A and B are shown apart, each in its own frame.
Chain A
Amino acid sequence: MLEIKNLHVKLEEEDKQILKGVDLTVEAGKVHAIMGPNGSGKSTLSYVLSGRGGYEVTDGTATLEGEDILEMDPEERAAAGMFLAFQYPVEIPGVGNMTFLRTAMNAQRKARGQDEINAADFLKLVRAKAKELQIDADMLKRPVNVGFSGGEKKRNEILQMAMLEPKMCILDETDSGLDVDAMKLVAQGVNALRDENRAFLVITHYQRLLDHIEPDVVHIMSDGRIIKTGGPELALEVERNGYADLLAETA
């Protein structure tokens, strides 16, 4: 599904190399996790894959289902099936959550040559999905993320994911700032979307989210590289011993 080869990324504005050769392949139907200390480049990887400005790819490739995504605009990547659940979802006053969702959904459909979803079908769909995530009607009506608590913002990200049905879902620290109940809800939302045609890349700092979203593969990232890859047991090792041992081992 997602294939990243030797990806080197620096900041556009300054001479700072952040990703220093990332190799990563996520197969359809799988959940991969990336763990790693703060500042190791996890968010940068997610941004570069989804097309945020400010970064320069100096070497390497990234493809989604064989298609080079690095040259695409963010909206083209979205239409191609890429989705990023933001670590810090953005507040957009004055734009209703529903309007936003519908605009996004129809824009993607249009880009793929599909018909727009009609208002009634959309409403039915969004209500059903929102209910599963315990997002009430009021939250749907409110401006995008405005006045939402940390947990509400993250649930809203998952709602968008559920509505847009992307192929490749990247979750950046979706667990941060969530209490246990909220985390379970989010994990349920993610698990409900797991299927053989969809892949996940779950970025997290802690192991606890992975208790609820069980990964197939765990990668450890440090200083812009994947330094170790293993099964779910790798996450448990991090939980027990922290990153220090791992870092020392590969230094």
Chain B
Amino acid sequence: MALAKPKQDATDARLADLSLPTDTGWSLGARQEAVGRLKQMGLPQPRDEYWRFTSPRDFNAVAPVAAAPMDVSDETPLYADRDTLKIVFVDGVFNADASDALALEGVEIARLADAGQADIHWARELYGHLEARGQNPVERPLTALNTAFASDGVLLRVTGRVSRPVQIVYDHRDAGSDAILHHVVQLTEGAELTLLESGPVAARFNTVLEADIADGATLHHVRTQGRNHDRRAATASFARLGANATFKSFTLTANGALTRNEHVVEFLGDDSVAHVAGAAIGDAKTDPMHHDDTVFVTHDALRCESRQVFKKVLKNGAVGVFQGKILVKKDAQKTDGYQISQSLLLDDDSQFLAKPELEIYADDVVCSHGSTTGAIDEDALFYLRSRGVPKARAEDLLVLSFLAETLEEIDDKDIASEIAERLDAWLARHAG
């Protein structure tokens, strides 16, 4: 079927401007297929159902909107006291000097940009594969674009239980930077890894994470998207779980003109657990803030548990979006699915748009979802103030209280408290 003209035009214009990296090696086939998918689907348009609340215009545009890098030297870098394996990208370009040696016991580490140098069997099998699966039943054209044109990314094959986290640090310095990165993580049977991501990748970025989590394996994923006001981010994670596997993903977003975070989770083995959580705080006083979490969880196995916990604190006209779906296939009995999306509006100008969905074909499942929009609780505020806590501080505590449920999804309590400190600092900067 031919694409509608605006879609066709947007897609043609973008494709005309992009070209495959030169030395694609083993990734060439997957990239070509992704170009095919993209041509077939076309880039998203505001009329598309899946983009009703968030305009894809800035993600589609040939040139990115400029975004001034933010000076964040007022904060010590996250995880500074922790022994991690650090991999640094500046405006989406790998920086060897700032990175640790890419060697860690229990993990094979490679880079997508080196695909031309040696064939990496496992990566070739996986690269673009979960993304392609994730196009059904809902199309995600920006992720196909990512697979086709990604300039680099981290490829991790985890075979052991690794205690030292792998930390990907993004540094945004160039106001005109436009980055496409694609990471692939494969956890073999019983393996475990903590993957940390922090910072804004570029003025505009499109990132994909494909995570293949085999039987009994565990992936902890904690991401902070940086405080930059103007940056525009389209991200997607695709997680596929075997049996008895665990996936825990948490994202903190502070500000950002435009953020679309998609999560696609698929349970293929029995008795697995996947939790995806997000805390977003936005103050649109000086710059716009639009934050969209879009989640799709497919249960296709027995007794799996999924949790979606997404909360947003919106201020001075910030906009929050949540689209979350739990699909339970016919044979996925004893599924336990939970989804909550909530917003705390700190004024009348901010707004929250939510579209929670359940689609259930099995008859013996427990699934629940809820979505709320509210203001600061006056009783709680009075309680705190009556103990002497000044109003502004009391409101901050109640914001942290509101977000607490998302932070509980981070298993490592030290990481959770570092994130909580960041939230607190953000609140202090955005007081009043």
Q: How far is the CA of A143 from the CA of B306 in the complex (A)?
A: 25
Q: Is A178 an interface residue (CB 8 A)?
A: no
Contacting pair B384 A100 (CB below 8 A): yes
Q: How large, as a class, is the contact surface on chain B?
A: 20 to 34
Q: Is B400 an interface residue (CB 8 A)?
A: yes
B356-386 to A contact mask, C-beta < 8 Å, 1/0: 0000000000000000000001111011111
Q: How large, as a class, is the contact surface on chain A?
A: 20 to 34
Quote the shortest CB–CB distance from B276 to chain A (angstroms).
19
Contacting pair B385 A103 (CB below 8 A): no
Q: How far is the CA of A104 from the CA of B397 in the complex (A)?
A: 11
Q: How far is the CA of A83 from the CA of B387 in the complex (A)?
A: 7
Question: Beyond the given A53-B378, A84-B386, could you list 14 further A-B residue pairs with CB under 8 A, ordered by the A residue number?
Answer: A51-B385, A52-B382, A53-B382, A75-B388, A78-B385, A89-B383, A92-B384, A95-B400, A95-B401, A100-B397, A103-B393, A103-B397, A108-B388, A111-B388
Task: Answer whether A94 and B403 are a contact pair too, CB < 8 Å, given A53-B382, A86-B383, A103-B393.
Answer: yes
Could you list 12 A-B pairs, sorted by A, with CB under 8 Å? A53-B378, A75-B390, A78-B385, A89-B383, A91-B380, A92-B380, A92-B383, A94-B401, A100-B384, A103-B393, A105-B388, A108-B388
Q: How far is the CA of A111 from the CA of B352 in the complex (A)?
A: 37
Q: Which residues of A contact B72 (CB under 8 A)?
A: none
Q: Is A79 an interface residue (CB 8 A)?
A: yes
Task: Answer whether A107 and B401 are a contact pair too, CB < 8 Å, given A74-B382, A89-B383.
Answer: no
Contacting pair A94 B400 (CB below 8 A): yes
Q: Is B426 an interface residue (CB 8 A)?
A: no
A165-202 to B contact mask, C-beta < 8 Å, 1/0: 00000000000000000000000000000000000000
Contacting pair A73 B397 (CB below 8 A): no
Contacting pair A73 B400 (CB below 8 A): no
Which chain B residues (395-432) contact chain A, with CB distance < 8 Å? Answer: 397-398, 400-405, 407
A53-95 to B contact mask, C-beta < 8 Å, 1/0: 1000000000000000000011101110001101001111111
A134-147 to B contact mask, C-beta < 8 Å, 1/0: 00000000010000
A90-117 to B contact mask, C-beta < 8 Å, 1/0: 1111110000100111011001000000
Quote the shortest CB–CB distance from A79 to chain B (angstroms).
6
Select the residue from A51, A77, A94 with max chain B CB neighbours within 10 A: A94
Q: Which residues of B contact A160 (CB under 8 A)?
A: 387
B379's nearest neighbour on chain A, judged by CB, is A90
Task: Answer whether A78 and B401 are a contact pair too, CB < 8 Å, given A53-B378, A53-B382, A103-B393.
Answer: no
B304-315 to A contact mask, C-beta < 8 Å, 1/0: 000000000000
Q: Is B355 an interface residue (CB 8 A)?
A: no
Q: Which residues of A contact B (CB under 8 A)?
A: 50-53, 73-75, 77-79, 83-84, 86, 89-95, 100, 103-105, 107-108, 111, 143, 160, 164
Q: Which residues of A contact B398 (CB under 8 A)?
A: 92, 95
Q: Which residues of B contact A (CB under 8 A)?
A: 377-380, 382-391, 393-394, 397-398, 400-405, 407
Q: How far is the CA of A108 from the CA of B393 in the complex (A)?
A: 13
Task: Answer whether A107 and B389 are a contact pair too, CB < 8 Å, given A53-B378, A93-B401, A94-B400.
Answer: yes
Quote the shortest CB–CB distance from B408 to chain A (angstroms).
8
A74's nearest neighbour on chain B, judged by CB, is B385
Contacting pair B385 A75 (CB below 8 A): yes
Partner of A143, one of B382, B383, B402, B404: B404
Q: How far is the CA of A143 from the CA of B378 in the complex (A)?
A: 18
Q: How far is the CA of A104 from the CA of B377 in the complex (A)?
A: 18
Contacting pair B391 A73 (CB below 8 A): yes
Contacting pair B404 A74 (CB below 8 A): no
Contacting pair A90 B393 (CB below 8 A): no
Contacting pair B380 A90 (CB below 8 A): yes
Q: How far is the CA of A107 from the CA of B407 in the complex (A)?
A: 26
Quote the shortest CB–CB distance from A223 to chain B (angstroms).
25
Q: How far is the CA of A94 from the CA of B384 in the complex (A)?
A: 14
Quote the shortest CB–CB distance from B178 to chain A (angstroms).
38
A89's nearest neighbour on chain B, judged by CB, is B383
Q: Which residues of B contact A90 (CB under 8 A)?
A: 377, 379-380, 383
Q: Which residues of B contact A164 (CB under 8 A)?
A: 387-388
Quote the shortest CB–CB distance from B118 to chain A (angstroms).
48
Q: How far is the CA of A95 from the CA of B382 in the complex (A)?
A: 15
A145's nearest neighbour on chain B, judged by CB, is B383
Quote the shortest CB–CB distance from A65 to chain B (angstroms).
17
Q: How far is the CA of A103 from the CA of B393 in the complex (A)?
A: 9
Task: Answer whether A51 and B391 are a contact pair too, CB < 8 Å, given A90-B380, A103-B397.
Answer: no
Q: How far is the CA of A216 from the CA of B379 in the complex (A)?
A: 32
Quote the shortest CB–CB distance from B402 to chain A (angstroms).
7
Quote the shortest CB–CB distance from B375 to chain A (angstroms).
14
Partner of A92, one of B385, B386, B397: B397
Q: Which residues of B contact A103 (CB under 8 A)?
A: 389, 393, 397
A103's nearest neighbour on chain B, judged by CB, is B389
Q: How far is the CA of A50 from the CA of B394 in the complex (A)?
A: 16
